[in-house]
């Protein structure tokens, strides 16, 4: 599918408790979140099923549960439940009438017009704002050829400094530094390590390796985002292929000797990696387990596998 990407300022967004044209959904430059990065967000995908003429939003509620958890970390006063946010998102997609794969970006943020980094909302001085917008999105990474990635010189943020398990706006400068340097050095993306030198995750996605027919992924205590796609892959590998996943720390050197590597996430989807730091992964070709999981994943998210239809929220009725 060819997706015409880009931001349509005439599309509809949810902002200030109303559905408005995206061009009218604006904040003041003194907004606290703009000044200090004091907000959280989610990345959610909607997949167009051409045969059914239906848009399926993948694991919508799970993303909003995670958004609520991110809000708790930085004291954001989210006044809507996960179910309410799901209903708003479905209505927003209906109003925009998409017929291609879409990306949904909710933001919850400190909306006060004041200077000072405090997260407290004294006397209503720093309230919480909510926005949701949508846009067409194709492939975030090249899913066909296999990626050549680096191990980054930038260290992943620590839970006791700026928790990576929350999708906190300001923390993504860490991601931007790592990914930008990788691209400038000729790589497709990068893998970041924790301060103890062990593998954390990709620049903005979780990571799996394969050794001796078993999936291995880093634990949530390795300064990673608690990935919705990560949990999906663990479930699919077990239920469909009887492949177990071992959740444990991964050493850097294991990246060089494992049989397969792939990233996963809302943006990355399932993205096989075939070379790391100029070393081939396995045979240097996309591995069998990675390929099977990738093919299965795309059938699931488009609502074509009825066993997992409950993960897919339809937008259009009738």
Any idea which residues carry the catalytic annotation? 167
Residues 15/23, Cβ–Cβ less than 8 Å: no
d(Cα 300, Cα 257) in Å, to the nearest integer?
31
Q: Which two tokens stand for residue 128?
A: 């919480």
Q: Which residues pair with 45 in a beta bridge?
A: 103
d(Cα 162, Cα 271) in Å, to the nearest integer?
27
Pairing between β-strand 189-193 and β-strand 147-155 as defined by DSSP bridges: parallel
Q: Which two tokens stand for residue 299?
A: 């059938």
**Angle at Cα 84 formed by Cα 81 and Cα 87, nearest 5°?**
150
d(Cα 66, Cα 299) in Å, to the nearest integer?
24
Terminal Cα distance for the chain, rounded: 24
């Amino acid at each position: 599918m060819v997706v015409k990407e880009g931001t349509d300022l005439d599309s509809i967004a949810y902002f200030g408790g109303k559905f408005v044209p995206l061009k009218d959904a604006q904040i003041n430059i003194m907004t606290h979140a703009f000044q200090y990065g004091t907000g959280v967000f989610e990345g959610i995908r909607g997949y167009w099923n051409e045969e059914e003429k239906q848009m399926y939003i993948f694991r919508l509620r799970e993303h909003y549960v995670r958004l609520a958890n991110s809000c708790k970390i930085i004291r954001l006063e989210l006044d809507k439940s996960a179910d309410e946010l799901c209903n708003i998102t479905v209505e927003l997609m209906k109003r925009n009438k998409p017929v291609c794969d879409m990306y949904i970006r909710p933001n919850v943020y400190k909306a006060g017009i004041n200077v000072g980094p405090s997260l407290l909302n004294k006397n209503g001085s720093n309230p919480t704002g909510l926005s949701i917008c949508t846009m067409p999105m194709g492939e975030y990474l090249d899913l066909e050829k296999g990626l050549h990635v680096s191990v980054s010189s930038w260290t992943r943020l620590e839970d006791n400094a700026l928790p990576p398990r929350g999708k906190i706006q300001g923390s993504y400068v860490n991601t931007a530094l790592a990914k930008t340097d990788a691209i400038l050095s000729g790589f497709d993306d990068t893998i970041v390590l924790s301060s103890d030198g062990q593998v954390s995750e990709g620049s903005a996605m979780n990571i799996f390796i394969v050794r001796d027919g078993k999936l291995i992924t880093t634990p949530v205590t390795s300064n990673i985002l608690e990935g919705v796609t990560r949990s999906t892959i663990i479930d699919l590998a077990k239920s469909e292929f009887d492949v177990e996943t071992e959740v444990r720390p991964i050493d850097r050197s294991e990246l060089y000797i494992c049989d397969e590597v792939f990233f996963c996430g809302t943006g990355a989807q399932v993205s096989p990696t075939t070379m790391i730091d100029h070393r081939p992964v396995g045979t240097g070709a996309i591995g069998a387990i990675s390929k099977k999981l990738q093919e299965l994943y795309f059938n699931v998210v488009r609502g074509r596998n009825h066993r997992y239809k409950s993960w897919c929220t339809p937008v259009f009725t009738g």
